[in-house]
Amino acid sequence: MAFSITHHKPKLVVPAKVTPRETKHLSDIDDQGSTHFQMPTIMFYKYNSSMEGKDPAKLIKNGLSKTLVFYYPLAGRIFEGPNKKLLVNCNGEGILFVEADANIELDKLGNSIKPPCTYLDLVIHNVPGSDGIIGCPLLLIQVTRFSCGGFAVGIRLNHTMMDAYGLKKFLNALSELIQGASTPTILPVWERELLNARSLPCITCTHPEYDEQIESKNAWKFLEDKLVQKSFFFGNKEMEAIKNQVFPNHSESTKFELLVAFLWKYRTIALGLRPEEIVRLTYIVNVRGKSLKFELPRGYYGNAFVAPAIVSKVGLLCSSSLSYAVELVKKVKDHMNEEYIRSVADLMVIKGRPELSKSWNFIVSDNRSVRFDEVDFGWGKPIFGGVPKAISFISFCVPVKNDKGEKGILIAISLPPLAMEKFQEAVYNMTFKDVEGVNIISKI
């Protein structure tokens, strides 16, 4: 759909009060090689008559200035120290803020606001020179007003500073201060040393998520600029169809375990790799989770995740029942403990902060419990809130309702065009239902 957005001149928003001028160290979990990118998040809000006459851009901009008093490191700039260690110069330079106006009603965009968001580059404007990791603003926030009175809040975050849960804490504080609070309910806690490597680093666990095979890495890099992206909706009927494919002893597996096993197997089939190739499934595990028994302060807003990998030969994964993949996913949980977290932090220091493997790796992050779809700035909850697309081989599970009002999981997948056709067919045939936003090419 053709429409235009007018972007106003970007401005720097600084803390409303003088904040400490100091240097802060990021943790060794913060500056994993795989966090060195800009993470987008978008929320779309409908017109609310009770907010008539109030400008969301002005309220959010003023609220950001107040919030940065508490989250003042976000107003600073990152620089690199010895051994690639990232530090924050808390200099109060500010975050980037962009106002924009669209000549269209929000409703006209329909499902295109959901992943993969067609208009991502318009609602998160890439201000020239702002998208680096070192020496650039750590947050870019754009408020786009639509002609109906609705608006979008687009966020681009330097991922080294915090993860999705940290960003949600920041947005909750912003929401509270916009609506009249003098301080956030949960005060932010830095304490990044809690997730640093030990004084004598030692890799004590196996970490196939960082093993790189040059030939398969290069094969993926060759495909990377040819990828297409589609989203797939999994509601109760789709999940029941997946559950029916596994042995009874696996039917009590979580939705996420079943779904990632399903996606990994049929994505691998669609890629058409040689049977002896090694493939990986990497999924993000939140350190804050109760199952890990790892205590972090309630206000901790730094990155707090590890990314264990499951490994299989292509032939075995593709020819075995879905239960084989589910079993591999469930086994990883047995290795998730404090020692594993410490081992990851130590590995970062010992091996020079490597990225997660690009060797036929499929990375999935479950963002459902973050609840970006509940962030309320006074206009009510957004009609969509979450990560707006897959990023190369990284996919994100977000909670949505389909056109019928059914709750489910939406996940965007990136694949080469021919592989995408095969994957779509597999999804259709294995769940027996067309999924929202996907045109099925054919049926077997």
Domain count, the chain: 2
Classify burial at 136, counting beta carbons within 10 Å of its beta carbon; exposed 0-12, middle 13-18, buried 19 or more.
middle
440 falls in which pLDDT band (50, 70, 90)? very low
Residues 356, 222, single domain; the answer is yes
Residues 171, 231, single domain; the answer is no
86 falls in which pLDDT band (50, 70, 90)? very high
Residues 57, 157, single domain; the answer is yes
280, 359 in Cβ contact below 8 A? yes
Higher pLDDT, 103 or 431: 103
Residue 201 placed within a domain: no
- Judge whether residue 290 has pLDDT over 70: no
> Average pLDDT, stretch 266-277?
94
1 falls in which pLDDT band (50, 70, 90)? low
- Per-residue pLDDT, 109: 93
- What b-and-e string marks burial along 383-421, b requiring 16 or more CB atoms within 10 Å of the CB? bbbbbbbbbbbbbbbbbbbbeeeeebbbbbbbbbeebbb
Q: Residue 147, SS3?
A: coil
- Per-residue pLDDT, 291: 65
Indicate if the alpha-carbon torsion angle 99, 105, 108, 114 is positive or negative.
positive
Whole-number Cα distances in Å, 102 to 117, 148, 150: 16, 10, 10
Percent of the chain, pLDDT > 70? 95
- Judge whether residue 409 has pLDDT over 90: yes
Q: Which residues pair with 392 in a beta bridge?
A: none
pLDDT tens-digit map of 216-263: 888 888 888 889 999 999 999 999 999 988 888 766 788 999 999 999
Amino acid at site 292: L
Residues 63, 110, single domain; the answer is yes
Q: Which residues pair with 285 in a beta bridge?
A: 306
Name the residue with tokens 């003042």: 72
Neighbours of 275 (CB within 10 A): 11
- Per-residue pLDDT, 216: 82
pLDDT tens-digit map of 154-199: 999 999 999 999 999 999 999 999 999 999 999 999 999 999 999 9
Residues 123, 257, single domain; the answer is no
Residue 128 placed within a domain: yes
Residue 200 placed within a domain: no
432 falls in which pLDDT band (50, 70, 90)? low
Whole-number Cα distances in Å, 280 to 24, 32, 214, 336: 35, 19, 14, 17
Residues 21, 47, single domain; the answer is yes
Neighbours of 107 (CB within 10 A): 13
Amino acid at site 79: F
Higher pLDDT, 293 or 286: 286
- Per-residue pLDDT, 404: 84
Q: Which tokens belong to 133?
A: 């990791």
Residue 317 placed within a domain: yes
- Judge whether residue 295 has pLDDT over 90: no
Closest among 326, 327, 284, 332 to 304, alpha carbons compared: 284
Residues 37, 101, single domain; the answer is yes
In a 13 Å sphere around the CA of 318, the CA atoms on its Cβ side amount to: 19
Residues 345, 251, single domain; the answer is yes
pLDDT tens-digit map of 61-76: 999 999 999 999 999 9
Residues 190, 218, single domain; the answer is no
- Per-residue pLDDT, 442: 29
Name the residue with tokens 């020819």: 319
Domain encompassing residue 370: 208-432
Residues 165, 278, single domain; the answer is no
Contact partners, residue 73, CB within 8 Å, separation at least 6: 24, 88, 90, 138, 161, 190
User: Which of residues 166, 195, 224 is at a domain's end?
Assistant: 195
Residues 144, 254, single domain; the answer is no
| Averaged confidence pLDDT in the chain | 91
Residues 289, 353, single domain; the answer is yes
Residue 440 placed within a domain: no
Give the CATH number of the domain where residue 293 resides.
3.30.559.10
Closest among 55, 60, 62 to 150, alpha carbons compared: 55
User: Which of residues 195, 218, 253 is at a domain's end?
Assistant: 195
Name the residue with tokens 């669609």: 270
Residue 202 placed within a domain: no
> Average pLDDT, stretch 334-357?
92
115, 125 in Cβ contact below 8 A? no
438 falls in which pLDDT band (50, 70, 90)? very low
Helical H segments across 132-196, by residue range = 164-178
Amino acid at site 56: P
Whole-angstrom Cα distance, residue 403 to residue 415?
A: 25
Residue 443 placed within a domain: no
Closest among 34, 334, 352 to 197, alpha carbons compared: 352
pLDDT tens-digit map of 108-139: 999 999 999 989 999 999 999 999 999 999 99
Whole-angstrom Cα distance, residue 143 to residue 293?
A: 39
Whole-angstrom Cα distance, residue 373 to residue 410?
A: 13
Residue 259 placed within a domain: yes
Whole-angstrom Cα distance, residue 315 to residue 215?
A: 18
Active site residues: 159, 376
User: Which of residues 143, 160, 195 is at a domain's end?
Assistant: 195
Whole-angstrom Cα distance, residue 66 to residue 239?
A: 43
Residue 87 main-chain phi, psi, to 5 deg = -130, 160
